[in-house]
A = this chain, B = another copy of it.
Amino acid sequence: MSGLKRHIGSGYPSRPVIALLTDFGYSDGYVGTMKGVIASIIPDALVIDITHGIQPQSITSAALILWGSYRYFPHGTIHCVVVDPTVGTERRPIAVRTSRYTFVGPDNGVLSWAFDEDGVELAVHITNRKFMLPFLSQTFHGRDVFAPVAAHIATGVELKELGEEVPNSSLKRLTKLSAKRRGKSLIAKVVHIDLFGNAITNLHIGQFERWLKNVAQGAWRARIGEVEFKMLSTAYADVPVGEPLIIFNSYGLLEVAVNCGNAAREINISVGDELVIEPLK
């Protein structure tokens, strides 16, 4: 992922930035309420929506989008993520300070790809009721816990005031974002399908390039379902309109796309499907 690290959000801005990422959608008042809570605590914060359109309870999609987005934000940004299918149970609310950012959310893995890339410096289990709303619901910790905690961090509250430090090793993590090897082949897995129907896999360009060094004459083919590819495209428009292609996308991840079309629908790809890349010889 080092190639992408270069174009990072720079500098510490003149006012605190809070980035929100949830699966609360756009048809209810949940996100607006979180912003009301934040504005009640720190009206001068700049609140930016990463997205609230995560498919309900899809921790993997949220983790991917956070990982692909967080480093474009100004240093010091507080990333507040609420994709929380086990709200109200004993899963821990956590706050994690990394080299350049702070992450707030449930300890269910959704933050892990991002905080591991940026380097965990301190993690705490949020327990101090002083920084939550006075009445805690069992179903909406975005409003009652995560929004007020993110806002208080933005006002300058130290992570250690929020609760006990917890060992980095105790944090829940998702399976690493990388393709598997099977014999001489690379097995990439579709981890997210975006709005355009692009099927994004867990194969990063760095991993592919390392694999390619050991492939005779650099000759390979890739296959997903019935569709085969023999080359990488460098733009969607490299192939005729309506034709499928594979390309390393803006996240640096291999993605299956259709020029001006919807690959997931037209090639019938779902999250979890395998894209197999094998040497020709």
Contact = CB atoms under 8 A, between A and B. Distances in A.
Contacts of A36: 9, 19, 48, 50, 69, 72-74, 77
A137 B48 contact: no
Contacts of A140: 249-250
A7 B134 contact: yes
- Chain A contact residues: helix, strand, loop or mixed: loop
Nearest to A234: B138
Interface string A34-75: 011101100110101111111111000000011011001110
Contact of A26 (B37, B51, B138): B51
A72 to B, nearest CB: 4
A244 to B, nearest CB: 15
A230 B140 CA distance: 23
A32 B48 contact: yes
A33 B70 CA distance: 8
Nearest to A73: B36
Given A86-B237, A89-B235, 10 more contacts: A3-B135, A14-B43, A17-B39, A29-B51, A31-B49, A32-B48, A36-B77, A39-B77, A40-B74, A88-B235
Interface of A: 3-4, 6-7, 9-11, 13-15, 17, 19, 21, 24-33, 35-37, 39-40, 43-44, 46, 48-57, 65-66, 68-69, 72-74, 77, 85-89, 133-135, 137-140, 143-144, 194-196, 234-238, 247, 249-250, 260, 262
